[in-house]
A and B are shown apart, each in its own frame.
Chain A
C-alpha cells in the first residue's frame, strides 16, 4: 500500500530556476525505495520538497502535490511534516555539533510521543558503536559515525518514512556495506519505509525494492530491482557497464544539466 505519494511536482528555486519538473514517485509500506541520478539531477531538491525544507532556500513547489496517508504535505513547515512521521537525514550538517551523542538522541521530538529512553536503547541496539560514544560531542565524530548518529537521531523521531540523502557519500565501502545491512534490519524490525538518495546505483540496488532514476529534474526511469539492473543506460552510467560499451565522459556530458532559466 502506498504511504507517500509525490504527484507530478515542480520545484522552482528563487522564482526562476526549475530544479524538478513533473516528478512522480511513491513509497509503499515497509519498502526501501532508491532515488538515483548524477550530480544536479534534483534528488536533494525532491527530498527537501517532501520534508519541507524548501522555504528556507526561497524555493516553492509550484505544481503537483505530495500526500502522506491522505494528508497534503506540500509547502508545509518542516516541523509539521516531521510530526506526520517523515524524517530527513540531510546531505550535510546532519548532527548537532555541540551536543553529545546522547543529547543528539534526546533532542528530537518523537512523532506521536512515547518513552524516549526506551527508544534510545533500541537505537543503540542498531548502532552499538554509538553507545560507546555516548558522551562524545557530535562535531568530533568521523564521517561514518556521524552518518550513524544522523540515522539514529532521525529514528528518535519515530518516523514512518525515513528520508536519507546520500547514504554513502564520503564513506569507505566497508562502512557503506555495514550501513546497508543496518538499514535493512531497521526496516524489518521497526517496520518503517525508507526513501534513499544515492549516487551509486550499485549500493542502492542491493537493498532497494524499487528505484527511480532522475536526470535533469525529471524521472527518466523507474522499476523494481531486476528491471533496473537490466536497463542498458543505467548499466552504462551508474553501474559502469562493460569495457568498450561504456560511453565516454563527453557523451555523458551531452545530458545537459538541469538548470533552466526562465525570463
Chain B
C-alpha cells in the first residue's frame, strides 16, 4: 500500500515537471534543458519571499509562484525570443547555458547548502495516514496540484481559444502567424505556464523535504517521463510519468536503492529503441530531424 502511495507521489512529481517540457516543445520544438533549474529557482524564490512576507506563509507562497511565472516570461522575452526562427539546436544550447547561469546565480546568492523553505515559512509538514499507508501533507498537496494542473491544461488546450491557438502555432507557426496569431505571445505564454508548473513542483518538493542546488537532477529525471509519452502529448507525459515512477519505486524497493538515478534513463533507452517517437507523440517526418 505504501508502495502505491510512493509511486503516486513520484509520478505526480515527474508529471508536473514533465508537462513543462511538453508545453514548450509542443509550441516551439525547443527542448528546455533549463527546466530543472527554473524549477529550483521557484524553491529559492520561496526563501526570498519568506523573508519578505514574514508572518504570511500563504502570501509568500503566492508571491513565489507569481514571480516564477514572471521569470518564465522574462526568460522568453530577453533570451529565447531572439532564437525564434533560428536553428532549434541553437535554442536548445541557449537553454543549457541558461541552466548553468541560474545554478551559478543561486549558489552566489544563497550558497550551496541544504535549504528548508518550510522552516523559513514557519509551516509544518504533518504526516497524514490513509489506511495503512501514510503521506506527508506537502506530498499530498503535490498530487492534488498535479491533478488540477493537468485537468486545467486539458480544458485550456482543448476548449480555450488561446489553447487552440497554442496547438495551431505548434503545428504550423507560419500559418498561425498569417491567421493573426501573435507567435511571440504564444511562446511567451508557453514559457510562463511551463515555468509556473515547474516551479510549483520545485516549491512543493522543497517544502516537503528541503532541497539543495542539486535539485535540477530531478528535473532531468522527469525528462524521460516526457519523452516516453512522446514529448508533445500531455496525456503521454502523464502515462510516461507513471511508468517511470513505478519502475523506479519498484526497483528501489526490490533491488537496490542506488538504482534511483538510473532507472528513468533505462526506461528512456528501452523506449527509444522500441518506439522512438514515444507512446503518443507525433511521428516526426524524417526531414525535420
Q: Which residues of A contact B (CB under 8 A)?
A: 51-53, 55-56, 77-79, 82-83, 87-88, 90, 93-99, 103-104, 106-111, 153-154, 156-157
Report the tally of A-B residue pairs with Cβ distances under 8 A.
79
Q: Which 7 A-B pairs have the closest CB atoms?
A: A109-B180, A108-B179, A78-B177, A82-B180, A107-B168, A107-B164, A96-B168
A57 to B: closest C-beta gap in Å: 10
Q: Is the CB of B180 within 8 A of A98?
A: no
Residue of A nearest to B171 (CB): A96
A109 adjacent to B178 (CB under 8 Å) = no
Q: List 14 A-B contacts (CB under 8 A).
A: A52-B177, A79-B181, A79-B183, A87-B178, A87-B179, A90-B174, A95-B175, A99-B171, A103-B168, A106-B164, A107-B161, A107-B181, A109-B182, A111-B180
Complexed CA–CA distance, A130 and B171 (Å): 21
Q: Is residue B167 contacting chain A, with contact meaning CB distance below 8 A?
A: yes
Main secondary structure of the interface of A (DSSP, over half): loop
Supposing A53-B174, A56-B85, A78-B174 touch, asked if A99 and B164 sit within 8 A by C-beta, the answer is yes
Question: Chain A contacts of B174 at CB under 8 A?
Answer: 53, 56, 78, 90, 93
Given known A-B contacts A53-B174, A56-B85, A99 and B180 have beta carbons under 8 A apart:
no
Residues of A close to B182: CB separation below 8 A: 79, 109
B243 contacts A by Cβ under 8 Å: no
A110 surroundings in chain B (CB, below 8 A): 180
Q: Which residue of A lies closest to B167 (CB)?
A: A99
* B window 151-188: CB within 8 A of A: 161, 164-165, 167-168, 171-172, 174-183
Bound Cα distance A82, B183 (Å): 13
Q: Which of A55, A104, A156 contacts B85 (CB 8 A)?
A: A55
Q: Are B181 and A90 in contact (CB under 8 A)?
A: no
**A109:B165 contact, CB within 8 angstroms:** yes
> Which of B164, B168, B175, B182 has the most CB atoms of chain A within a 10 A radius of its CB?
B175
**Chain A min CB distance to B147 (Å):** 25
Given A79-B181, A109-B180, A109-B181, are A98 and B85 also a contact pair (CB < 8 Å)? Answer: no
* Contact (Cβ within 8 A) B179 A109: yes
For A157, give its contact among B85, B168, B172, B180 (CB under 8 Å).
B180
Question: Across the interface, which residues of B come within 8 angstroms of A56, CB to CB?
Answer: 85, 174
